């Protein structure tokens, strides 16, 4: 396949290597030079850009080639799932526990491709799957995208647990309840519950919350130790999607009437409230059935 990958960050670069290892003809473009990419000749356009830039970059992608999104977040302006911004062409989303440096180093991993166009998902599976990068397919585009957005917010909170030194019991509890929170949101939006127990849900949530170099986990840890969100972002030097996604996710949950206590708490910390107060408020919630 002739494939254009837009985005030269860690994930876009690593995924381009996955494609080249499968002997595809890959052209990589920086999002700042998106107008220069050969879209009219492409069989597929892969977008590996920050969520806040997704819509703008998409406007510059000419031609009719399908879009494969690697971006995990929501449109910060509207709160919309990013795939809904794609018009007039097929779209798919790839997600899962895919730390870019491990993929780039050729370590084994797995991902899921979701699309409402089953033929597109299957074609991409055949084009990308390899002995070290296993690809599954499904049609729950809504669930996969919400998993990719929400897990970064939970990872900020998990990093906060690390920064406060609250221990692994607390972290495991937060991650588990975070998964429940993600699934509750997904159900209200029409997603399939099984998605949240799969690679895009539980799988990606686990690695994002525990990997030492995970950007969102690191940012949460820094904030817990006194850094402002802006200073944490600057210190990491790369996009921290959870910082952008948290308020968009909170606003979405309020619009549809779904309770997301961890997400609400993360937003309050980003607005300047002490993190230890968030921990106390979560532990002090009224007891209920699991």
List the beta bridge partners of residue 193: none
Among candidate residues 17, 72, 151, 171, the one labeled active-site is 151
C-alpha to C-alpha distance for 68 and 58, rounded to whole angstroms: 11
Distances (CA, A) of 232 to 134, 228, 247, 256: 33, 6, 17, 31
Annotation says 17 is catalytic: no
* Terminal Cα-to-Cα distance of the chain (whole angstroms): 48
| Residue pair 56/44 in contact by the 8 Å Cβ criterion | no
Sheet (strand 91-95) strand order: 25-29, 2-6, 44-47, 67-69, 91-95, 109-114, 133-138
11, 100 Cβ separation under 8 angstroms: yes
Helix (H/G/I), strand (E/B), else coil: 190:
coil
Q: Are 51 and 74 in contact (CB under 8 A)?
A: yes
Rounded to an integer, what is the distance from CA 125 to the centroid of its chain? 19
Distances (CA, A) of 128 to 123, 133, 249: 9, 8, 30
Which of the residues are catalytic?
151
């Amino acid at each position: 396949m002739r494939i254009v990958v837009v985005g030269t960050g860690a994930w876009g670069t690593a995924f381009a290597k996955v494609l080249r290892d499968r002997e595809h003809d890959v052209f990589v473009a920086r999002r700042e030079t998106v107008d220069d990419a050969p879209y009219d000749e492409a069989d597929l356009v892969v977008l590996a850009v920050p969520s806040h830039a997704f819509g703008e970059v998409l406007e510059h992608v000419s031609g009719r080639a399908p879009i494969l999104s690697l971006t995990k977040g929501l449109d910060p302006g509207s709160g919309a799932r990013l795939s809904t911004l794609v018009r007039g062409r097929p779209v798919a989303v790839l997600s899962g526990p895919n730390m870019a440096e491990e993929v780039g180093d050729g370590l084994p991993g797995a991902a899921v491709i979701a699309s409402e166009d089953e033929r597109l998902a299957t074609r991409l599976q055949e084009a990308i799957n390899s002995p070290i990068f296993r690809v599954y397919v499904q049609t729950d585009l809504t669930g996969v995208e919400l998993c990719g957005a929400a897990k970064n917010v939970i990872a900020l909170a998990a990093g906060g647990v690390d920064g406060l030194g609250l221990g692994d019991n607390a972290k495991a509890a937060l991650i588990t309840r975070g998964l429940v929170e993600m699934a509750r949101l997904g159900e209200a939006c029409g997603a399939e519950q099984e998605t949240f127990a799969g690679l895009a849900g539980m799988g990606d949530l686990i690695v994002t919350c525990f990997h030492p170099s995970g950007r969102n986990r690191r940012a949460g840890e820094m904030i817990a130790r006194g850094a402002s969100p802006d200073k944490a972002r600057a210190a990491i030097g790369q996009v921290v999607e959870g910082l952008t996604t948290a308020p968009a996710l909170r606003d979405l949950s309020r619009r549809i009437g779904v309770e997301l206590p961890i997400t609400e708490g993360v937003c309050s910390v980003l607005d300047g409230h002490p993190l230890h107060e968030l921990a106390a408020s979560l532990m002090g919630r009224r007891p209920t059935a699991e």
